């Protein structure tokens, strides 16, 4: 029984391509098959039988690791750099779609042809006339499978080309398909975001189909394994037959709200643009790693970029592990065994260690690039520093308030900073809250965070020593309110004289004054009585908003507490004085 019959609705039909425009001919005479009914959704789930059989057949098949290379688009064509040696190459050619790295070849289209280069050296392997743009590619070390976008001349198609440029099979696809992979001359073709068809390029038969329970438009090789995915990845292993029950070896990025919502993979089967876009700059990277129990992410990490900022996160909890600022926007990259390679718009490719983000060197494409694609399948790089600075310092360094376009990421990092126990976090939060250049949104986050700190009292006290002083150029008062909250909770009586000074400083806003007053309600000593009484006198008859009214009441309480009989009498007199703000009279009577 043929595979087609086995799968019921499969029907691979050969079709000659010789009628196409002569300039766009690929090859006639090679085995040609047209995908038609193969995408028929009447297909009955075979319970994983066919895909399991294929997996079993390939179980001992060694999958060669691909080249470690970064390839960029420049005005004249392509440039590449070997990630291990740093050796660069350039290839001049028209480029009409984002190139793809598959195995040890780079495949691209442009100028009416598709071509393959040796990834390590940029040496041309072959070229063929083509009617469309490249949208996917796979390579098994012998054959390159190229998926081409439908064009006005033709439907979409898959073309299998041997190393010498011979077209060994071409398939017309009348339905949208994802990006394919190829292993041992078997093409794995994702389609309709849930199926993976296994197509035997030798026989021209579909020999199996898998159904996956998460969005799947990519088939790719990594670390000697075959994976299917887009939102999360499934490994093609002995559990693949259970994919339909969602019990295959699968791994996803943890659910974690990150700035810009970076995604791991683009939708497969779509022509990539020749200029980078936001998806490239806001992107997640991860390398799946087989384990005894299934699948997880290499180094217990996944990585996210937000333009010039790169972060390493825990693969299970999403907890931030490290963060680095790059010299330029990251527009491409790849996770490798023990780290991540990030390609920047400038053409530099930087390497970071998985665990703490230590730098692990850098290579360069030699010039700025419009697009950068990276493959790091067998790369291994050691971190240059044995132990980089702690996370709290990394975050502090990365937050740069002058980069106003990075506010979203900085706000995220600020929240991470707030979660750090170190007093250094307190110090940095104070700096951010008092830096006039800090965008309001960030300052608000920093202030909120400061109020919740319970360490770094020395930094807080030092901050409160400062005042608004026009002549001294101190134009931003310290975050008196948040510091008051924190110091009061910490029962830090050393703050009392400083807060008492700020109480009477008109440069502080009324919310800060209120919070200082409330802190003094707890922290004031008789030494602050004079300042408290001054405030009480200035505002008991002029308090014009809720903050000030609350502040006067709090100060009244403090006076009663530390001022003895005279203090109580002062407050009592004010409470019964008709010139006292009416809203204050009753609360003061209660003291």
277 contacts another protein (rule: CB under 8 A) = no
Pairing state between β 88-92 and 77-82: antiparallel
Which of residues 98, 128, 540, 561 is near another protein by CB under 8 A? 540
Name the helix (H) or strand (E) containing 88.
strand 88-92
Separation CA 41–CA 335 (nearest Å): 35
525 contacts another protein (rule: CB under 8 A) = no
Please state the closest distance from residue 586 (CB atom) to another protein, in A: 17
Nearer to another protein, 414 or 548 (CB): 548
375 contacts another protein (rule: CB under 8 A) = no
Please state the closest distance from residue 573 (CB atom) to another protein, in A: 5
Please state the closest distance from residue 542 (CB atom) to another protein, in A: 5
Site for another protein in 180-239 (CB under 8 A): none
Please state the closest distance from residue 506 (CB atom) to another protein, in A: 5
Please state the closest distance from residue 529 (CB atom) to another protein, in A: 7
**Residue closest to 288 by CA, chosen among 263, 251, 317, 243:** 251
Separation CA 584–CA 246 (nearest Å): 66
505 contacts another protein (rule: CB under 8 A) = yes
Tell me the three state secondary structure of residue 517: helix
Say which residues have a Cβ less than 8 Å from residue 297's Cβ, sequence separation at least 6: 251, 253, 286, 287, 288, 289, 315, 335
Which of residues 313, 445, 533, 554 is near another protein by CB under 8 A? 533
Count of residues making up the chain = 591
Q: Which residues pair with 374 in a beta bridge?
A: 70
Separation CA 262–CA 277 (nearest Å): 12
Please state the closest distance from residue 434 (CB atom) to another protein, in A: 16
Please state the closest distance from residue 576 (CB atom) to another protein, in A: 9
Please state the closest distance from residue 579 (CB atom) to another protein, in A: 6
List Cβ<8 Å contacts ≥24 apart for 400-406: 400/325, 401/432, 401/435, 401/437, 401/438, 401/439, 401/442, 402/437, 403/308, 404/439, 405/307, 406/306, 406/307, 406/308, 406/309
Nearer to another protein, 490 or 581 (CB): 581
Nearer to another protein, 59 or 472 (CB): 472
Which of residues 171, 536, 556, 560 is near another protein by CB under 8 A? 536
Size of the site for another protein (CB under 8 A): 34
Which of residues 304, 376, 529, 588 is near another protein by CB under 8 A? 529
| Segment contacting another protein by CB under 8 A, of 202-210, 237-245, 285-293, 528-536 | 528-536
Nearer to another protein, 318 or 587 (CB): 587
Tell me the three state secondary structure of residue 243: helix
Which of residues 530, 583, 586, 589 is near another protein by CB under 8 A? 530
Which of residues 67, 438, 531, 554 is near another protein by CB under 8 A? 531
Concatenating the DSSP letter of every residue in 382-442 gives --SSSS---HHHHHHHH--TT-GGGHHHHHHHHHHHHT--SHHHHHHHHHHHH-TTS-HHH
**What backbone phi and psi angles, to 5 degrees, belong to 444?**
-60, -45
345 contacts another protein (rule: CB under 8 A) = no
* Backbone CA torsion sign across 25, 32, 235, 254: positive
Say which residues have a Cβ less than 8 Å from residue 42's Cβ, sequence separation at least 6: 8, 9
Nearer to another protein, 70 or 584 (CB): 584
Please state the closest distance from residue 516 (CB atom) to another protein, in A: 13
Nearer to another protein, 417 or 503 (CB): 503
Site for another protein in 445-504 (CB under 8 A): 468-473, 504
255 contacts another protein (rule: CB under 8 A) = no
Q: Supply 98's token pair.
A: 């984002």
Separation CA 186–CA 225 (nearest Å): 14
Nearer to another protein, 30 or 507 (CB): 507
Please state the closest distance from residue 487 (CB atom) to another protein, in A: 21
Which of residues 541, 562, 585, 587 is near another protein by CB under 8 A? 541
Name the helix (H) or strand (E) containing 235.
strand 232-235
Residue 378, CA distances (Å) to 53, 68, 145, 509, 587 in order = 28, 6, 21, 58, 73
Please state the closest distance from residue 470 (CB atom) to another protein, in A: 5
Site for another protein in 550-579 (CB under 8 A): 566, 569-570, 573-574, 577-579
561 C-beta neighbours (distance < 10 Å), count = 19
Separation CA 11–CA 498 (nearest Å): 83
537 contacts another protein (rule: CB under 8 A) = yes
Nearer to another protein, 353 or 511 (CB): 511
According to DSSP, residue 174 is labeled S
Please state the closest distance from residue 520 (CB atom) to another protein, in A: 14
Nearer to another protein, 396 or 531 (CB): 531
Q: Which residues bind another protein (CB under 8 A)?
A: 468-473, 504-507, 510, 529-531, 533-534, 536-542, 544, 548, 566, 569-570, 573-574, 577-579, 581
């Amino acid at each position: 029984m043929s595979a087609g019959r086995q799968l019921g609705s499969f029907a691979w039909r050969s079709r000659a391509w010789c009628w196409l425009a002569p300039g766009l001919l690929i090859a006639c005479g090679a085995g040609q098959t047209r995908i038609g009914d193969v995408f028929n959704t009447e297909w009955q789930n075979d319970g994983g039988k066919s895909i399991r059989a294929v997996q079993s057949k390939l179980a001992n098949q060694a999958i060669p690791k691909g080249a470690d290379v970064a390839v960029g688009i420049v005005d004249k064509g392509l440039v590449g750099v070997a990630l291990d040696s740093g050796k660069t190459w350039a290839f001049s050619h028209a480029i009409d779609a984002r190139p793809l790295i598959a195995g040890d070849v780079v495949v691209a289209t442009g100028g009416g042809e598709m071509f393959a280069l040796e990834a390590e050296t940029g040496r041309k392997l072959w070229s063929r006339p083509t009617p469309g743009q490249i949208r996917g590619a796979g390579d098994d070390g012998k054959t390159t499978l190229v998926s081409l976008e439908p064009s006005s001349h033709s439907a979409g198609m898959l073309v299998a080309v041997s190393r010498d440029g011979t077209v060994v099979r071409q398939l017309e696809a009348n339905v949208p398909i994802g990006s394919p992979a190829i292993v041992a001359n078997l093409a794995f073709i994702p389609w309709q975001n849930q199926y993976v068809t296994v197509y035997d390029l030798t026989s021209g038969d579909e020999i199996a189909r898998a159904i996956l329970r998460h969005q799947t438009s990519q088939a790719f090789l990594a670390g000697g394994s075959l994976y299917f995915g887009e939102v999360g990845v499934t490994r093609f292993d002995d559990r693949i037959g259970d994919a339909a029950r969602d019990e295959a070896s699968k791994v996803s990025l943890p659910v974690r709200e990150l700035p810009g919502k970076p995604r791991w993979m683009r939708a497969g089967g779509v022509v990539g643009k020749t200029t980078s876009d936001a998806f490239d700059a806001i992107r997640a990277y991860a390398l799946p790693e087989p384990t005894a129990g299934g699948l997880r992410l290499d180094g217990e990490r996944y990585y996210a970029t937000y333009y010039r900022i790169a972060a390493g996160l825990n693969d299970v909890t999403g907890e931030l592990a490290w963060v680095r600022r790059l010299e330029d926007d990251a527009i491409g990259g790849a996770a490798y065994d023990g780290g991540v390679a990030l390609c920047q718009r400038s053409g530099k490719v930087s390497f970071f260690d998985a665990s703490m983000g230590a730098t692990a060197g850098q290579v360069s494409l030699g010039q700025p690039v419009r697009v950068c694609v990276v493959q790091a399948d067998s790369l291994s790089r050691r971190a240059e520093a044995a132990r980089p600075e702690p996370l709290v310092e990394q975050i502090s360094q990365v937050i740069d308030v002058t980069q106003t376009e990075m506010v979203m990421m900085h706000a995220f990092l600020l929240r991470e900073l707030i979660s750090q126990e170190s007093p250094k976090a307190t110090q940095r939060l104070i700096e951010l809250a008092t830096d006039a250049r800090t965008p309001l949104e960030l300052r608000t986050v920093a202030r909120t965070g400061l109020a919740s700190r319970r360490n770094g009292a020395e930094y807080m006290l030092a901050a409160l020593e400062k005042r608004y002083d026009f002549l001294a150029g101190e134009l931003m008062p310290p975050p008196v309110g948040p510091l008051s909250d924190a110091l009061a909770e910490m029962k830090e009586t050393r703050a009392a004289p400083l807060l008492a000074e700020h109480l009477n400083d008109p440069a502080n806003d009324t919310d800060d004054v209120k919070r200082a007053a409330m802190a003094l309600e707890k922290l004031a000593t008789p030494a602050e009585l004079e300042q408290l009484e001054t405030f009480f006198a200035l505002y008991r008859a002029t308090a014009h908003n809720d903050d000030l009214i609350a502040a006067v009441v709090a100060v009244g309480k403090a006076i009663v507490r530390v001022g003895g009989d005279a203090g109580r009498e002062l407050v009592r007199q004010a409470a019964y004085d008709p010139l006292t703000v009416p809203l204050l009279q009753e609360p003061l009577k209660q003291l």
